[in-house]
Structures are given as structure tokens and as C-alpha cells.
Amino acid sequence: MGNQEIGTYQDRVVGFVDILGFADLVRRADKDPGLRDDIAEALGKVRRVASPGEGESDLRAQNFSDSLILSAADTPNGLWHLLLSIDALAWNLLQLGVLIRGAVTIGGMRHETDLVFGVGVNEAARLESTVAKMPRIILGARAFDAADRYANRSEVWSAYRNSRLLRDRDGVWYLNYLNDIACFNHQGGSNSDILQHPLCEVGKQIQSIMQSKLDRTLDQPEIYAKVEWFARYWNEVVAKHPDPAITPVIGELRLAGMETRHGALPFRSF
């Protein structure tokens, strides 16, 4: 996009992201310089994700408090550059035990360094707050239709669409930000190369962090519902191998009610 178009109001791919539990994270980081650096690194990586293909992307991103607004050119490369940037944010914050929720759409907006507004922004924010609900990045109708359309034009965009977009039980399409760890975990086996791979270590770290979060929030139903959604997503996408005979090296998250009962249940006589 040329400089003369920076202030133009036009259709763009728009993403609105809410970092869940960010206030608590910031409170902890106030006394932990290392955590402050980790937060800055995770937020900064959004802007450093490489463009996935040729053509215009014009990715822009701003964060304020617990929210981020991203936008990109209304092109195949723009759509996927924005989605992969959110994917990187989700993955890096997961390693801190932090989940995100958001929405991506296409609509009119103006995005400058110190100014962001437009119906596209309004719609992305509405979808995030009223439809996403769980820690997922959903695609509005225009964004998903664009991804589908681009997939019919190119094998590259088809591969992204088929591997990185999933449909939830409520019919909503969302970004599969666990795709990379799932592909790694589905290799199967337990040889030293797999066990010593950095992704194995990070995956087990995330599994441990999120298991602890599940166990700690049983008496906090609003928080537990979000962590439970993530756990079911993890178990279905990461911990379940396509071949039932193969046990992945990174296991599932244990949900309430999954406990194994030992021995026969007592019989009540009347």
C-alpha cells in the first residue's frame, strides 16, 4: 500500500483480540522483570511474523491494555498474514498460561498510527464480545468466505484453509492455533529426537500449565468454562492421534468427570 493511501477509509481485513486474564498477568509482571520481558516478546512477535505469500499484506497492529486491533490489506496474503500473526500471539501467550479470544472480519476502516475506526472495527469487536465467547479466534462471514474463495484459486491458500480453520459445534469457524503442535505430536513414537525436540518440551509445558489452571478454577465457573473449552480443543486436535493405535508423546488434559473409578460401585439395598 502506498503512502498516499495510509489515511484512506477502505475495506480491510480486521482483527480484534482480547487477552483473557491480562490484568492479573500485568499485576504479576509488576514485580517480575522476566515476565515483563516475556509479555513484551509475545506482543512484539505479532509484528514480526513473515508474510506467508506474495502480494500485498500491509499488516498493522496496535495494542492497548488487554486488547489488540490488527488490520491488513483485503487480499489473500493480507488475510493470512493477519491470521498467522494472531496464531503467533496465541501460541506465545499460551506458554505463559494466557488464553486469547477474538474475531476477524472484513469491513471498512481507517487505520493509522494514532487513529483507528470504522464499521469493520465495530463488527470485529461485536463478534469478539458476543459470538466468540470462548478462547477462540472466530471468522466472520466475510472473512471465512474470502478464505474459502482464495482456497479455490491456489494450492497454498487451500492448504492454509484446510489445516488452520476448524468448525466448532455451534457452526462457527475458528483459527486452529494449535496446528503446529498437533502436527508435531501426530508423528508418534518416543525416540530421543522427538522427546528432545523443543516443541515437545514446550507442548508438555503448556499441558502442565493448563492442567493446573483447570484444577484451580473448578470453583470459578466463568473461568473454568473457558479453560474447559480449550482443554476439549487440545484433546481433540493435539492429544488424539488419527491412528488410535498410536499414543502421542504429549497427552491430554484431564477434565472434571474424566477420573477413573477403581472397584465396583457400592450397591444400595432398599
Helix (H, G, I), strand (E, B) or coil at 18: strand
Give residue-wise pLDDT tens across range 67-123. 999 999 999 999 999 999 999 999 999 999 999 999 999 999 999 988 999 999 999
Q: What does the buried/exposed string (b/e) look like for 139-166 if buried means 16 or more CB atoms within 10 Å of the residue's CB?
A: bbebbbebbeebbeeeebbeebbeebbb
Predicted pLDDT of residue 218? 93
CATH number for region 8-177: 3.30.70.1230
Place of cell 529426537: 193
Count CB neighbours of 20 within 10 A.
19
Q: Which of 137, 50, 30, 157 is nearest to 94 (CA)?
A: 137
pLDDT of residue 5: 63
Portions of the chain given CATH number 3.30.70.1230 = 8-177
Contact 168, 144 (CB under 8 A): no
Share of the chain above pLDDT 90, in %: 77
The residue whose grid cell reads 505469500 is: 53
pLDDT in tens, 153-196: 999 999 999 999 999 999 999 999 999 999 999 886 667 778 88
The pLDDT assigned to 136 comes to 98
